[in-house]
Amino acid sequence: MNGNLFNLTPENLADEHLCCIIRSHKRHPGVEAKRQWLSARLPEGHVFRKLDQRATVFIEYAPLETAWVPVVGDKYLYLYCLWVLRDQRNRGYGRALMEHCVADALTQGRSGVCMLGAVKQRAWLSNQSFARHFGFETVDTAGDYELLALSFDGTKPRFTEAAKRQTIDSQDLTVFYSPQCPYIHQTVETIRQYCAERAIPLSVIPVDSLEKAKALPCPFNNFALFYRGKFQTVNLIDTGPLGRILSKNVGAVTQENILSEGRRSVKLAERCAAFAWKSCKLTASEVTAWRCCIKLLLPSEISKCSLCVETLRPFQRQLERRTVGMAVCRRRCQGKGGRDEKGQI
């Protein structure tokens, strides 16, 4: 190892970087939220141990009884995160950090150390293959997620019953988050913007107390996403994975959201048409009709196709004061029994 490892303390917290997002001058809202959260956690026995260089090399853990996760057990430490960025690997940092955590648990007379894992390794969870080399094993499951533990005395921690439920009443896209990770801020803002642009109902729920964290209805490290009442992931996601989560749920995108997408461009309209066919169970004539209207939402009153008027009744509110060109409708609806009339949608 080329550097020394040390713990953050109330005395040095304000002056040290927090590894994940390193800035020289401009403050990052996610980092500052994490710093404020840490200042309240350190007196509880929370440990943040890092390299004395400008590098992403650290481990973060806490007594399970004060860890903001829906996991319970006697006298365990909970490992939030062990991260050594690629350019610092193969130098012994990961092993030294894990060994320190295990030794700390033994010194405190703990029963062991536990961490969140998954049947398939997730991007925002610590490397569980690495942990298994130290003797960690699966002691409980909640859906596709696993609780891994290194037990010193044979006892086992477990997910709460609420965490195994993995359902909520709300059908909206719902985000639960805590300030434990500096990347949380930008992830939540990205999701807010994505949903606002597409008129997707969104509920964002801050987990701002230990009690709320222990009562969460799903596995949780610092982030959880629900859609249509079902738990989706603990991964901090961007717009790509979010779009896939929305699209894989049958009926997840409403007719209003499809129209909102379609207005943005002809290319999106064509994509939405195909998506409407699969996900919203529209008829062939409905898909044809609203594709026409999305492509030519003109501001003046002109001719339109009577077939489109009939099949677009579910979109009446969204298409108020909008019109569609007769020629386009005639071409699109040819052979479907429509006739041309004048009027405004």
Residue 287 has pLDDT above 90, yes or no: no
Extract the tokens encoding 125: 């969870």
Indicate whether 261 pLDDT > 50: no
pLDDT attached to residue 126: 87
pLDDT digits (tens, 9 = 90+) for 153-194: 999 999 999 999 999 999 999 999 999 999 999 999 999 999
> Is residue 198 over pLDDT 50?
yes
Asked if residue 318 has pLDDT above 50, the reply is no
Arithmetic mean of pLDDT, 307-334:
43
Categorize the per-residue pLDDT at 291 as very low, low, confident or very high, splitting at 50, 70 and 90.
Answer: low
pLDDT for position 248 = 75
Please state, in angstroms and as integers, the Cα–Cα distance from residue 65 to each residue in 72, 78, 140, 306, following that order: 7, 9, 17, 66
* pLDDT bucket at 90, cuts 50 / 70 / 90: confident
Helix axes 184-198, 29-41, angle to 10 degrees: 130
Question: Which CATH number describes the domain made up of 5-160?
Answer: 3.40.630.30
Give me the sign of the Cα torsion angle 70, 76, 80, 82. Answer: negative
Tell me the CA distances in angstroms from 156 to 76, 135, 216, 226, one per residue in order.
9, 14, 20, 28
How do residues 6-64 score in pLDDT, each as one tens digit? 999 999 999 888 888 876 667 889 999 999 999 999 999 999 999 998 888 999 999 99
Instruction: Compute the half-sphere exposure of residue 317: CA atoms within 13 Å on the CB side of its CA.
Output: 5
- Which of 55-64, 71-80, 81-90, 251-260 is the least confident region? 251-260
DSSP 146-196: EEEEEESSS---EE-HHHHH-B-S--SEEEEE-TTSTTHHHHHHHHHHHHH
Q: What is the rounded CA–CA span in Å between residue 133 and residue 207?
A: 33
CATH of domain 164-248: 3.40.30.10
Task: Parse the chain into domains and list their residue ranges.
Answer: 5-160, 164-248, 255-341
Q: Strand runs (DSSP E) across the chain, as ranges? A: 5-7, 47-51, 57-63, 71-72, 76-84, 112-118, 137-142, 145-151, 158-159, 173-177, 202-206, 223-227, 230-233, 304-305, 340-341
Q: What's this model's pTM, rounded to 2 decimal places?
A: 0.72
